[in-house]
Amino acid sequence: MTEPRRDWAAAFALVAAASLIGRLLDSEISQTSQAMIYLAAVVLASYKLDRLPAIACALASVTAFNFFFIPPRFTLAVEHHEHLIALAVMLGVALVVNQLAAGLRNESQAARLSERRARQLQRLSKDLIEAGSEAEVRELGLREFESAFAGPCLIALRDELDAAAPRDSTRDGLRCCVSEAAVLGPGTSRWPGLDAWFVPLGDKGHVFGAACVRPALAADVDAREHAQALCSLLAHALWRLKLSADMAAARSEVERHQAQRTLLAAVSHDLRTPLAAIVGAASSLQAQRDRLAEPEQRRLLASIENEAAYLSIVTENTLQLVRLAGGSLQLRRDWESMEEIIGSVLARVRQRDPTRRIKSRVPRELPLVKVDPVLIAQLLTNLLDNALKYSEGAVDLTVQADAGELCATVKDRGAGVDGEDAQRLFEPFVRGERSSGERGAGLGLAVCRAIAIAHGGRLTVRRRSGGGSSFCLALPVEAEQPEQAKA
C-alpha cells in the first residue's frame, strides 16, 4: 500500500477504533471521557499522519462523536450549544496539534540533515589532511558530493579545463565559474536559469578549479551553502599542496646554492696551491736558470709538470661534480664490457704503478652493462689512484657478477676507514683522519659516488679484516641482455 493510502486508511481506522472503544465503555463512562477518547485518536492522527488525512480524521471523529454519542444518538443533530462548542474545540485542537506535529517533524528532519552535513564536512576535513596529490583531493571531493547530492556532480581542476576538451555546457559553466571566481546558478544573481550550481574552488586570486552540483533548487539555500563549504575545504587542501610543493622547491634551490658556494670555496683553495707551486718553479727557472745546477733545473721542471697535471685533475673533477650534482650531465649509456673498461683503466694507471702493485681478477663472459664507459673508467681510475697513493703493498681489483648486479671492488692494505669516517669520505673535500701528508683531489670520491648514483648503482666502502679498505662499485645488470650475433 502506498504511503498516502496508508495514511487515509490509518485515519479512518483510528476513528473506528475510538468509536468502538467508546461504545464498549458506554455504560461506564460519561460523554466527556468519550470525547477524550476521540481527542486521543485525533492527536495521534495529527502527530503521525500528513495534514489532509489528519484533518479528515478530526472531521470524522467529530462527526462520529456527534453521531454515536451525542443525543439524539444516531443523528447528526445537536441538542445543546455545549456540544457544538465541544465539537469546534475538537476540530481546533486537531488542526493545532497537526500543525505543531508537522512543524516538529520538519524541524527534526532539518536538524538531522544539518547534522549529517556537519559530519560530512568533518570527515572530509580529516581525509583531506592525508591527501597527497591534487587527484586525491578531487576524488575525495567527488565522493562527498555524490553522497550529499543526488544528481551527477563533477569536479574539474584548472589545468583540465584549460586543456582542449569537448565543449559542452557543463564545461563552459565550469570555465565561466573559474574565471568569475563566484557561484553561478539558481538562487544566485548570476545565471539563475542553469540546472546546476557551479561553485569555484578557491576565491579571487587563487581559483584551483570548480565543481558542478546537481540538483540545484533556487530556494534551497542550505544545500548551496553546504556545497560552498565542501568546496572551501577542497580549495584549502589544494592550496596547502601547492604551498608545500613550492616550499620543497625553494628548499632544494637553497641547498643547491649552498652546496655550490661550499664547493667554490674549497675548490679555489685546491686550485691556488698547485698554481702557486707552478708559478714559483717557473719564475725560479726564469730568474736563476744560469745559476741553478742541472738536477735542480730538472726538479723544477718536473714539479711544474706534476703540479699542472694535478691541477688538471682537480679542474676536471670539479666540473664533473658540478655537472653531476646539477643533473645537467648527459650520460651516454651503451652496452659496455667491464673487461674492456678495466683494460683501458689499467693501461692508464700502470703509468703510475711501475712495480705492478695492482693485481686484477676479471672473470670471462661477464654480462654487458648499460653504462657511460668514460665515467665508469674515471670512477675506477680514481679508486685505483687513491689505493696507490694512500697505501703500500698490493692493490686488488676484482669483478663479480651475481644477482642482477655487477660489482667491481678495489681493495688495499692501507690505514682503513672507520664507520662514521666512511660516510664522510664521500663528501667533497674530506680526507680520512689518518691519511698522510699526501695530497688528494678532495673531490675524487664525491665524484665517484655521484657517478655511481647517476647509473642507478652504489659505491660503498668498508674496513677489511686484517686492515685496509675495500671500495665496492655495484652496477645494475639488466635482465635482458642484447641479442647475440651469428658467428
Partner 1 sequence: MKALVVEDDREIRTLMQSSLSVEGFEVQTAVSVSEASALLQHDPPDLVILDLGLPDGDGAQLVSEIRRRSAVPIVIVSARHQEALKIAVLDAGADDYLTKPFSVGELLARIRVALRHRGTALAPALIRHTLADLHVDLELRHVERDGVALHLTPTEFNLLARLVRSAGRVVTHRQLLTDVWGPEFTEHTHYLRLYMGQLRAKIEADPAEPRHLLTETGVGYRLAVE
Residues in contact with partner 1 by CB under 8 A are: 308-309, 312, 316, 319, 332, 334-337, 339-344, 346-347, 350, 360, 362, 364-365, 368, 372-374, 377, 482-487
Distances in Å between the Cα of 20 and the Cα atoms of 25, 57, 107, 218, 384 are 9, 15, 35, 49, 112
Query: What DSSP character marks residue 457?
Result: -
Query: Burial, 43: exposed, middle or buried (Cβ in 10 Å; 0-12, 13-18, 19+)?
Result: buried
Question: In terms of Cα–Cα distance, which of 85, 75, 93, 84 is closest to 38?
Answer: 93
Strands 358-361 and 395-402 turn out to be parallel
Minimum distance of partner 1 from residue 148's CB (angstroms): 59
- Our CB check for partner 1 shows the closer of 116 and 332 to be 332
Report d(CA 340, CA 313) in Å as an integer: 23
Minimum distance of partner 1 from residue 256's CB (angstroms): 21
Report d(CA 90, CA 174) in Å as an integer: 57
- Our CB check for partner 1 shows the closer of 136 and 316 to be 316
Minimum distance of partner 1 from residue 476's CB (angstroms): 17
In sequence order, what are the beta bridge partners of 371?
Answer: 334
The residues, any chain, with a CB within 8 Å of residue 141's CB and separated by 6 or more, are: 124, 155, 211, 230, 231, 234
Whether the CB-CB separation of 132 and 139 falls below 8 Å is answered with no
**Grid cell in block for residue 278:** 707552478
**Block residue for cell numbers 477524550:** 36
Minimum distance of partner 1 from residue 191's CB (angstroms): 60
**Block residue for cell numbers 725560479:** 284
Minimum distance of partner 1 from residue 482's CB (angstroms): 4
Half-sphere exposure of residue 382, counting CA atoms within 13 Å on the CB side?
29
- Our CB check for partner 1 shows the closer of 156 and 341 to be 341
- Our CB check for partner 1 shows the closer of 143 and 335 to be 335
- Our CB check for partner 1 shows the closer of 437 and 482 to be 482
- Our CB check for partner 1 shows the closer of 207 and 341 to be 341
Is the backbone peptide bond immediately before 274 cis, with ω within 30 degrees of 0? no
The residues, any chain, with a CB within 8 Å of residue 51's CB and separated by 6 or more, are: 98, 102
Minimum distance of partner 1 from residue 365's CB (angstroms): 8
Whether the CB-CB separation of 323 and 452 falls below 8 Å is answered with no
Distances in Å between the Cα of 56 and the Cα atoms of 7, 62, 78 are 10, 10, 20
3 state SS of 193: coil
| Residue 303 burial (CB count, 10 A) | 17
- Our CB check for partner 1 shows the closer of 232 and 337 to be 337
Minimum distance of partner 1 from residue 315's CB (angstroms): 10
Minimum distance of partner 1 from residue 446's CB (angstroms): 18
**Grid cell in block for residue 320:** 664533473
Minimum distance of partner 1 from residue 332's CB (angstroms): 7
- Our CB check for partner 1 shows the closer of 188 and 409 to be 409
Minimum distance of partner 1 from residue 325's CB (angstroms): 16
In DSSP notation, 259-303 reads HHHHHHHHHHHHHHHHHHHHHHHHHHHHHHGGGS-HHHHHHHHHH
- Our CB check for partner 1 shows the closer of 182 and 282 to be 282
Query: What DSSP character marks residue 350?
Result: G
Question: In terms of Cα–Cα distance, which of 204, 223, 203, 221 is closest to 213?
Answer: 223
- Our CB check for partner 1 shows the closer of 205 and 354 to be 354
Minimum distance of partner 1 from residue 335's CB (angstroms): 4
For residue 12, give the H/E element and its range. Answer: helix 3-24
Minimum distance of partner 1 from residue 472's CB (angstroms): 18
- Our CB check for partner 1 shows the closer of 265 and 308 to be 308
